[in-house]
Chains A and B, each alone.
Chain A
Amino acid sequence: MKDLLKAVPWIGPAVALIATVVLFPVGLMFWNSTRDISQSGVDDGGVGLANFATVVGFQYFWPILGRTVVWVVVVVACTLIGSLALAALLNKAFPGRRLVRMAVIVPWASSVVMTTLVVHYGLEPYFGIINSFLVDVGLIDTPEGYGWTRHPGTAFAWAMVVAVFVSLPFTTYTILAGLQTVPGETVEAARIDGAGGVRTYFSVVLPQLRGAVSVAVLINIINVFNSLPILKVMTGSIPGYDADTVMTMIFKYMQNQRQIDLASALSVIAFLVVIGIVAIYVRVVRPLEEV
């Protein structure tokens, strides 16, 4: 107890900081999700769990949740596979490696919205560079190109491509850091025992990357689940709810329908889902334990 008191001056500010910028907004979100808030933002009293019933009862709720799962799984899996390959490449010595390593950081250093907009404009019919290219090489018959961002399926697929692209740098560097902690002796020993390159990688190197990979996956799951800007830009003009994830749906409740109460209720659900996923993940994979 005395130790705790002694520590207060040191941990106090941090606790205060967490309370004001993390706990307070979360509390407010939970509070708003049980209120009836008018379109202009006036609080008309509590309604218990009615907002949750409305959100879950919405006819597109389950498809949206399912699409969110697909979004997270596909993006994180592709990111991981791409990053493992990239990291293995960048770990080898070759001329110009420093430059390539720098280049990999670029998507990380630029704004996600900007990156997405560049791709989005490229996909526009009539003037988009990607469409022009596909028309010129004869893959598309219509002279104005194809409306990639105008159809739920293709828009969602392109959003995934962008999401993988912007997630690669962080994941690659996390894995690259992990690769450099793999002792050269273990690889050498495998070689002496007669293991080939593939066998060495999968049986010796990869198991030692467990820590790096599991941390990278955990952070990616949270990031990708909570990602709004890519989908907002890529699928924003599509009518209906056939390209929405939980995050874009929250945004639609808030921005289009101005139902802050429903948006808060769905945010609470999303918050609980993320916490659930992370809890299961931490339990099963134990990413924070020593290998």
Chain B
Amino acid sequence: MAQYKRSGGIIAITLAATTGLTACGFGGSGGEASGDGTTLDLLVPSYSDATQGLWEDVIAGFEEANPDVKVNLQVESWDNLESVIATKIQGGDAPDIYNGGPFAGFADDELLYPVEDVTSDETYADFQPTFLGNAQVGDTAYGLPWIASARALFVNDALLEEAGAEVPATWDELLESAKQVSELGGGVAGYGMPLGSEEAQAEAAVWLWGGGGSFGDAEAITVDTPENLEGAEYIKKVIDEGATQADAGATDRSPLFDIFVQGKIGMQVGLPPSVGQIESDNPDLEYSIHPIPTKDGSPFTLGVADHLMAFQNDGDKQEAITSFFDYLYSADVYVPWVQAEGFLPTTVSGSEALADEEALAPFLEVLPDAQFYPSTNPDWAAADSAFKALFGQLDSDKSAKDVLAEIQEQVDAG
């Protein structure tokens, strides 16, 4: 019995000691450099199953060229990314380089290096001006445009032909064609409308902006406006007239696109990587890619750019970060990365290198008409989550006006 007690005590002490040590890590700065070298902590999201391998290749190449700098890689899923970064910042353990979407909140809290301070002049000048303009807070760019994507309408040619429908350019034509396809029956839906929490803000932008609306600018987020209401009411109309799949309000984008790939949906808005998905999952699908229909047929696409950010932390790693970015954005490293993930490049040299890439052509074509989320507005993150949580209510008894008002209210409170 005494023996038992003693070993129990030892176990308890060991436990207490280890948990105590872990607890100490809470306020520490973590990841300090050993010896003369500098260590860069890199926190990135996973775009696909290949992401981790792509980053590992980049890091291996970089460390070979810069033996005195070590890079620690941490890959998180998009779902967790934002809570991971918030927890790290709160714990005083921010990464040095972070790959994410919204950056204005961090810039507002004065946590980031301006882009000019962590890139060479050549790298800075190589960014496409539209993307760099979209990465500014005030007159200073804080986010390095990393990868871009644009949206376009994916059309199942076989279904449209069977239904005798035309590829639409305006909302009215879209509604007409979608209804014709829906009438085929057998579980086929005319238009795939994903208003579920996954990416409701994207489908919202496709419709609201396509009708002449906007989500506001760097100064103010404006959701509840007459221009936006027009798009929201048209969404309700498309749903009510049975032109979409069932339960549009709670359908997430990725699972719905799987259904499109299976050939059960007439039309859905997709992304550059969607091309690769169809290629690998159902290469026999007869489809084509067209510009997104708008109210009056004028060209428009929703552009999205993800950004890299450099956190200041102790302020002693600026040089190492600069050399990492210069290496990363050199065309030989950057272009294969973007290409492997199926996105669009944000640099001039990158676009030139990919100019003759056939699958990307329909997207590169619409890119000049791209409009972006007002992501430089610190309130955009709140608006983004308000859209995710509330926009799907268009598919309910609630009026379009009330839904927009509720989103606006949550943004203003956020």
List the interface of chain A (C-beta within 8 A of B): 9-10, 13-14, 16-17, 20-21, 24, 37-43, 54, 124-126, 142-144, 146-147, 149-151, 236-241, 252, 254-260
Contacts and interface: CB of A to CB of B under 8 A. Distances in A.
A14 to B, nearest CB: 5
A16 B16 contact: yes
Contacts of B392: 238-240
A240 B264 CA distance: 28
B12 A13 contact: yes
Contact of B89 (A21, A41, A146): A41
B389 A43 contact: no
B186 to A, nearest CB: 5
B247 interface: yes
25 contacts: A10-B9, A16-B20, A20-B16, A24-B23, A38-B105, A39-B105, A39-B382, A41-B87, A54-B413, A143-B186, A144-B245, A144-B246, A144-B264, A151-B250, A237-B196, A238-B197, A238-B249, A239-B197, A239-B250, A239-B391, A240-B393, A257-B389, A257-B410, A258-B86, A258-B385
A17 B13 CA distance: 9
Interface in B235-282: 245-247, 249-252, 255, 259, 262, 264
Nearest to A9: B9
Contacts, number: 136
Interface of B: 5, 9, 12-13, 15-16, 19-20, 23, 79, 82-83, 85-90, 105-106, 108-109, 111, 185-187, 189, 195-198, 200, 245-247, 249-252, 255, 259, 262, 264, 378, 381-382, 385-386, 388-393, 395-396, 410, 413-414
Contacts of A260: 86, 90
Contact of B12 (A17, A43, A142): A17
A158 to B, nearest CB: 13
A142 B264 CA distance: 14
Contacts of B385: 256-258
Contacts of A9: 9
Contacts of B15: 13, 17
A37 B90 contact: yes
Given A21-B19, A40-B85, A143-B185, A239 B195 contact: yes
Nearest to A254: B83
B382 A20 contact: no
B236 to A, nearest CB: 14
Contacts of A259: 414
Contacts of A38: 105, 108-109
Q: Please list the 7 inter-chain residue pairs (A to B) with the smallest Cβ-Cβ separation, ordered nearest first.
A: A239-B392, A41-B90, A150-B247, A13-B12, A150-B250, A144-B187, A147-B247
